[in-house]
Every structure is written in C-alpha cells, then in structure tokens.
Amino acid sequence: MGTKASNQMWGGRFASGPDAIMEAINASIGFDRRLADQDIDGSLAHVAMLAAQGIVSPADAEAISDGLGRVRAEIAEERFEFKPALEDIHMNIEARLSEIIGDAAGRLHTGRSRNDQVATDFRLWVRDQCDAAVAGLTALMRALLDQAEAGADWVMPGFTHLQTAQPVTWGHHMLAYVEMFARDRARFADARARMNECPLGAAALAGTSFPIDREATAHALGFDRPMANSLDAVSDRDFALEFLAAASICAMHLSRMSEELVIWSSAQFRFVTLSDRFSTGSSIMPQKKNPDAAELIRAKIGRILGAQVALLVVMKGLPLAYSKDMQEDKEQVFDAADSLMLALAAMTGMAQDMTANAPALEEAAGAGFSTATDLADWLVRVLGMPFREAHHVTGAIVAKAEAAGCDLPELPLEAMQAVHPGITAQIFDVLGVRNSVASRQSYGGTAPDQVRAQVAAWKERLE
C-alpha cells in the first residue's frame, strides 16, 4: 500500500520513483550540450598547459587532444550519444574520451573542477553571443542607413504623444533608430570587454596546488587575463546578466520600431509597405496583409526581459561560491540569445525590404498645423516678439485656420494680419513643410543636408 501510494505521488512520468526524479532535476545535458565546442576548446587549452608545465606527459596530452578532436567530430556529425545519466556536457565528453583513449582521459581533469570548467564554457559562449549581437546590429544599422540616404529629403510628420508635432524627414527618423541601435552595439561590446577574464584554474573554489599556468590558458582562449579571485571566478554570473541587460534594452528598441511599422503599414496611415516576405494574410479576409514579423519582434521583449529577471532572482540570495542553483542560468540566456538574434535578423530584413510611401508621408506632414512652431519662430526672429507672445499669436492664427477648415499655408494673409498687423507675406516662406525641414539646420536636426552628413559619418564609422 505504501509503495503504491508513493509511486502514485511521483506520477506516471517518474514511475521508477525518487531516483528518476533526481536524475531529471539534476541533469543539464538537455540544454548545456550547446556548450560542447566551448567545453572542448577549454579542455584543449587546459591539457596543453598541463603538458607545458610537466603535470601530464606529452604522450598523454597528445592522446587527449586527438581524442577531443574525435569527440568534436562526432558531435558535429550528430553521431554522439548524449546520456542524461552523465548529467552534463562535461561528463558526457569526458566519458566518451575515456572510451576512445582509455585511462589517459582521467588526467584531463587535473587542476580543475566542473565549477571553473562550466564558468569558462559559459563565459566563452556568452562572449560569442556578444560578437554575434554586434554583427547583427551592424547589419541592421546599415539597412537603416540605406533607408535614410534614399529618403533624406522625404518629408513626413514628426509626432509627440502620437499627435502631429513638426515636419521631419524620413531620413532623420531612420537615423534616430541608427543612434539607438548604435548604443546597443556599444553595450554589447562593453559587456564583452568586461567579461573577457578567464575563470579556468580557479578549480572548485580555492585554486589548486598543481603548478598550473593560468596566464597561458587565459591567452589560449582569447581572454585578456585570468580572473584574480578563485571564489569570484566560480560564483560570478555578472557577465550573463550584463548580456541579458544589453539584450533587454536592444529588444525594447526593436519593439518600439516594430510598433511604428505596425502603425505605419496600416490602411489608416499607409506610410510604408512591408514586403510579402515579412507579412502574412488572413484566413478569412482576403484584403488583409498583416505585419506579423513586426508584431512577433514586438513580443520578444517579454521573453528576453523575463530571462534577465529570472536570472537576477536565481542569483540574488546565493552565498559564495558555487551552488547548484546556478545550473538554472543557461536556459534563460540561451533562449534570450536565440530570440534576440532572430528578432535582429527579421528587423534587418524588414528594413531592407520596406518601401516608404513618399506622397502619403508628405501629405500627412502638412496636416495638423505641423508648421505652427515655424510661424512662432518667425514672429520671434523677424518681428522681435517674445516667444510667449509669439506662442499666443500663433495659437490664435491656428484657431482661425481650424475654423476656416484649412491648414496654415492656405490661410489668407489678411486673416493672419487681423491677429497681428506686423505679419507680412514673408511668413509663407516658412509655412510649407519642405521649408520647415530645410530650416532645421542645427547639428542633429532634420534638414536634408544634416541627414546626409550624418549618413556619411555613420557609413565611415561602420567601415
């Protein structure tokens, strides 16, 4: 009775009882197999150092290196059998190495622990992901620069509160995202530089009594230096958290751009047409062309930010040094990295393929009294009016135009002079949307000349 009840408690999946549950919760090979290349790289660097230091014989080191090469080939060719009973990628590789070369495989683990081994593997993997994110962001920035250059003088409405504010150029709007993604690129590069220290040789937590050369292994793996404290080396996951923080901010930027593409591609706006490659149809409404790629990118921030929060919560209460809780670090980072790279690739494709509707952009740019600020600036600049008074006069003129059912450039001069007699026909030189954007020549402004200068500067930076 007691045994039967106990088995029922474990459930059908774990019919064999507590041992099966322990194996299921303890094993990480289902996900950390992604660290295979990094694990083999770390082992090759470690055994080369052991041989150079006279800790293992040259013959054993050669056998281990050759055997690791065979293991790598088996994994690449999908001939490798991953065994959950061996828990993780480290033990799976070492067990197979032992089958290939015999007892010499047991010498590979001299002077290290799984604690510093996994910290090294994971750091190498995240470092590679930083490089991939930088490359992905660079490709996206180039696509946006092409859009900016093509539309340097296309006029469109600029918005605040999603209400028409002032005219800007398409190129200027595209360059805003270039700046945002450039900051993301810098964050990944900065995180990579900070994480480029090597945990290998810290062993379980206290270092090792073997005469190892940590500088040699660090440099062999492309690190700048070994980590200076063995406790910190095995317990630190800041590098993963920094990657997730940079990924979360980047995903937020991708989400903002996606939101605009969803709005702009709607029938109500008609600002852009997304290519068929990044759109889908409706199952029942034949007229629909849905911006599904943009919507899915917009959703990725949930998964990526969720991964950051999850890892922060895992790490927040852990005493030094290693705890098994830290096995929960990888799945979150793997998923976030996959989601980010997919979102970057999709956004780059959309940016390359999308077509701006220049006539619709210009028509919308002139609506909503978008040149009211230009009128106020003219009153200050030409008539010497204090800006607060100019703001009041402009508001009265806008009210007249609204009552007349026209925009500011169509309002008769006499109607403006009824508000302020000092206004002359020169006012119409600033009221057109093209005149408005051309006048914004301040550094970082929307004038076509400024846009072209920024495009040229960015292209030079990205070479």
- Determine the 3-state secondary structure of 213 from DSSP: coil
**Catalytic (active site) residue 161:** yes
- How far apart CA 298 and CA 21 sit, in angstroms, is 37
Q: Are 201 and 207 in contact (CB under 8 A)?
A: yes
- How far apart CA 449 and CA 437 sit, in angstroms, is 10
Beta-strand relationship, 355-356 and 272-273: antiparallel
Bridge partners (DSSP) listed for residue 198 = 226
- For 25, list phi and psi in degrees, rounded to 5: -80, -25
Tell me, rounded to whole angstroms, the distance of Cα 350 from its chain centroid. 16
- How far apart CA 360 and CA 272 sit, in angstroms, is 9
Contacts of 421 (CB under 8 A, 6+ apart): none
Residue 28: both structure tokens together:
């990480």
Tell me, rounded to whole angstroms, the distance of Cα 308 from its chain centroid. 13
Tell me, rounded to whole angstroms, the distance of Cα 24 from its chain centroid. 32
**Catalytic (active site) residue 391:** no
Catalytic residue, chosen from 6, 16, 275, 282, is 282
Tell me, rounded to whole angstroms, the distance of Cα 238 from its chain centroid. 17
214's enclosing H/E stretch is helix 214-220
Q: Residue type for 154, please?
A: W
Active site residues: 161, 282
